[in-house]
Amino acid sequence: MSRDFSDAQARLLDLKQEYQDRIEKIEDHIYNPQDDLNEHWDDQAISMRDNEMRKTLLLEAKQSLNYVNDALSRIENGTYGECTVCGEDIEDKRLQAVPYASLCMQHAS
């Protein structure tokens, strides 16, 4: 009996849009700063720290988007919900919590 992943696909598509929006906003803020360079060294240091934090958030969002895209590809090719290590079904609760999960609980830990 095949499993129905239409709800998971809808959630993944929502996540994909969310991550794409997040990436766009972060990139816009990094490459088009909203404030002019300040004359004060302290303000410049804070701006540099904030940009480093934004770059970290950008990397995390891009990685998450990759996970989501991989999960959508697994839905298309019929392998979604299967552990990529052992081939066993990934627990439904795990897929509900982490819709882009590619490992069963045993192999995720």
- Mean pLDDT, the chain, rounded, equals 89
Query: How many whole angstroms separate alpha carbon 61 and alpha carbon 64?
Result: 5
The whole-number pLDDT of residue 75 equals 96
Given pLDDT bands bounded at 50, 70 and 90, which one contains residue 36?
low
Is 89 within the bounds of a domain?
no
- The count of structural domains within the chain is 1
Instruction: Answer whether residue 99 shows pLDDT above 90.
Output: yes
Is 107 within the bounds of a domain?
no
Cα atoms found within 13 Å of the Cα of residue 35, Cβ hemisphere only? 10
Percent of the chain's residues with pLDDT above 90: 72
Q: What is the mean pLDDT of residues 35-60?
A: 74
25-29, 31-35, 50-54, 81-85: which is most confident: 81-85
Is 92 within the bounds of a domain?
no
Spell out the alpha helix ranges (H) of 1-109: 6-31, 41-77, 92-97, 105-108
Domain that holds residue 38: 6-81
- Other beta carbons less than 10 A from residue 16's beta carbon: 17
- Other beta carbons less than 10 A from residue 109's beta carbon: 6
